[in-house]
Amino acid sequence: MSQEQPFVSVILPCRNEAGHIEACLKSILAQEPPEGGFEVIVADGVSTDGTREYLDQLAAVNPQVRVLNNPGRIVSTGLNAALRGAHGQVIVRMDAHTVYAAITSGSVWLCYGRPARIMWADPCRPVR
């Protein structure tokens, strides 16, 4: 029995994360991709420390990454902006202060045959 694999949207709110965002996004993009594909939506809360410039450069060379404006500057408005822009049937919420351990297809990405649902990423290693 063949079943279409869901597209996954990773949503990531951030603001002034220049010291963490590069390692975080590298760890997300290095994951074994889900069979249905995935996108990473970063909602930037008007960063003033170079975070937005890095995000724009990354998005220019990586079509999986999209950067959205979060003029509200707080996590909740960033999450809402990212959710509105998400194309996935599965939503995975991640945090900018985290470097994510490798995820295999048997972990977070494995979400077959279910309508849109929100999942929380795990395992992870907090950045200090």
Give the chain's largest Cα–Cα span. Answer: 51
- Segment 4-18 shows an average pLDDT of 95
What percent of the chain has pLDDT above 70? 77
Helix (H, G, I), strand (E, B) or coil at 14: strand
The answer as to whether 120 is a domain residue is: yes
Question: Does residue 62 form part of some domain?
Answer: yes
Whether 11 is covered by a domain: the verdict is: no
Tell me, yes or no, whether 1 lies in a domain: no
Q: Is residue 16 part of a domain?
A: no
Does residue 6 form part of some domain?
Answer: no
The whole domain housing 50 covers: 35-126
User: Quick one: pLDDT band at residue 113, thresholds 50, 70, 90?
Assistant: very low
Half-sphere exposure of 64 (CA within 13 A, CB side): 18
Q: Classify burial at 9, counting beta carbons within 10 Å of its beta carbon; exposed 0-12, middle 13-18, buried 19 or more.
A: buried
Instruction: Work out the mean pLDDT of the chain and round it to a whole number.
Output: 84
The pLDDT confidence band at residue 122, using thresholds 50, 70 and 90, is: very low
DSSP E strands in 19-128: the ranges are 38-44, 65-69, 90-93, 98-100, 117-120, 124-126
- Residue 83 within any structural domain of the chain: yes
Give the chain's domain count. Answer: 1
Evaluate whether residue 121 is within a structural domain: yes
Q: DSSP class of residue 23?
A: H
